[in-house]
Structure 1
Amino acid sequence: MLGERAVPYGDRAVLVDADPGDVAGLHAALVVDPLPGQVDLVPAARTLLVVLDRPPTELDLATLRRLRPAPADADRPRRDPVEVPVVFDGPDLADVAGLTGTAVPDLVARLTGTELTVAFGGFAPGFGYLTGLPAEVHVPRRATPRTRVPAGAVGLAGPYAGIYPRASPGGWQLVGRTELVLFDVDRDPPALLSPGTPVRLRAVG
């Protein structure tokens, strides 16, 4: 139960503050049983924005404050994972193996043997924050961010994995690279990795 963690956000939305592990379940609950006039849901790490076609009411707030998470996949049929071919030769691969106390081949096996899920998007168009990493491969961000990370770089930071859709600065630990195009304005939808998408990394090269 959310208690008092649902507040009006502008004149057409409600912002729900949630525990990180509950966001996907709250999103699923509102897809299955939407509020009247609900037009969009925008998940983030600790919040869920519920966009309406009207001003929010006290009943909306009360409903959201009582809302309980549903199973994270309750809002969709089972989908095959998006397979991401990855060359595991990132500049931080050996450092990550050292931080996690594993050999590089074992680290790669853990990363490729786990089904990940896009929890939410952010940072740049097409960037999905992937959850589901085993706790033993959670690593901190780099102490000094890079001024340029190439497009397609696969990185780790805390409980998340992510793939840079375009060249940009970044502080994640880079373990590999892919040639997969993550964001294309001529594709429908443009983002390959939308919230809720299952993902598997596949070692190539």
Structure 2
Amino acid sequence: MYKEPKILVCGDRAIAVEFGDEISKECNESVIRLYKMLQKKNIEGIDSVIPTYRSLLIKYNPLKITYEKLLQIVKEISESKAENQEAVSAKVYEIPVVYGGEFGPDLDFVAKYNNLTAEEVINIHTQPLYKIYMIGFTMGFAYLGGMSERIATPRLEKPRTEVKAGSVGIAGSQTGIYPLSIPGGWRIIGRTPVKLYNPSSQKPFLFEAGDYVKFVRITEEQYYQIENEVKMNVYQVKISDFANHKIF
């Protein structure tokens, strides 16, 4: 059943379209549908669209498109079932990760905390497709949903002063990848050689909200091989269609 979104005015050059007041897959899907359709239509006067867990911020130029016209477009897209269904299509990024050792110093702690072996933690972590709800916090950081509660683990009591770029961590019931070398308090269980943020690229962020991440276990040897390919700009992340994947 269609539920009309709530519109919040954010100054004279932006509006926030809210689809709910909770973090849920259904609410985020409505956000992503509107986000993708506005991108596809490439409407003159809309400067940018920024998705979050439950809302979409639309920045616009009032000299090129009126507030009333923008509201009409949002309403038409939100009510259109055919277009909404078309916009659901998503990509799956397969991210290679080496787990444990110097790459994942907290893997054993996560295992012990959850009464599991390190191998069981890795198997559980690499099973799901993780939905990218939004990009934020720092450049290219993806907020992922779908991690099993079986490996949920509290953050470090004292954050590290530096966590290497590519580190894969767990904090509470969330998992994520550090796109840059920054301070952080997540439990680090592995690392990927893939670059998530490249400011010199035409598309600086690897991920996009609404798509999915699949973690794939690799060896240390494979890690260094991929790392060299990334440095030479010849490595290609494997990307597939979400519709062809089984959901765990």
Q: TM-score range by the shorter chain?
A: 0.7 to 0.9
Judge conservation of contact 1:32–1:75 (CA < 8 Å) in 2: yes
Preserved contact between residue 126 and residue 217 of structure 2 (Cα < 8 Å): yes
Aligned to 2:29: 24
Alignment deviations for residues 105-134 of structure 1 (CA, whole Å, 9 cap, x no partner): 111111111111221111221211122212
Show the 5 A alignment for 1:11-160.
11-17=12-18, 18=20, 19-21=22-24, 22-32=27-37, 38-54=46-62, 56-57=67-68, 60=71, 74-79=86-91, 81-89=92-100, 90-160=104-174
Q: Does 1:200 align with 2:214?
A: yes
Instruction: Give me the whole-angstrom Cα distance separating, in 1, the residues matched to 2:154 and 2:167.
Output: 17
Q: Report how many residues are paired.
A: 202
Letter in 1 for 2:29: A
* Contact preservation (8 Å) 2:168, 2:189: yes
1:78 Cα deviation after fit = 4.4
Cα offsets for 1:14-58 (capped at 9, x unmatched): 124432111332221453378x75443212244431223336349
Worse-superposed segment, 193-202 or 92-101: 92-101
Q: CA deviation at 1:59?
A: 8.2
For 2:156 and 2:86, the matched residues in 1 are separated by 36
Q: 1:189 aligns with which of 182, 194, 203?
A: 203
Cα distance in structure 1, aligned partners of 2:145 and 2:16: 22
Question: Partner of 1:25: helix, strand, or coil?
Answer: helix
The CA deviation at 1:201 is: 0.7
Letter in 2 for 1:15: A
Question: What is the rounded CA distance, in whole Å, between the counterparts of 1:2 and 1:161 in structure 2?
Answer: 32
Q: 1:74 to 1:108 in 2, by over 3 A?
A: farther
Q: 1:99 to 1:10 in 2, by over 3 A?
A: farther
Alignment-mate amino acid for residue 13 of structure 1: A
Q: Which TM-score applies when normalising by structure 2?
A: 0.68
Structure with greater helix share of residues = 2
Larger C-alpha radius of gyration, 1 or 2? 2
Contact 2:8 2:16 in 1 (8 A): yes
* Aligned match for 1:177, one of 188, 191, 202: 191
Distance change >3 Å, CA 16–CA 109, structure 1 → 2 = same
Structure 2 Cα separation of the partners of residues 160 and 97 of structure 1: 15
* Greater relative contact order structure (CA < 8 Å, 6+ sep): 1
- Whole-angstrom CA distance in 1 between matches of 2:96 and 2:187: 18
Name stretches of at least 5 consecutive residues in structure 2 with no aligned partner: 220-248
RMSD over aligned CA atoms reads 3.2
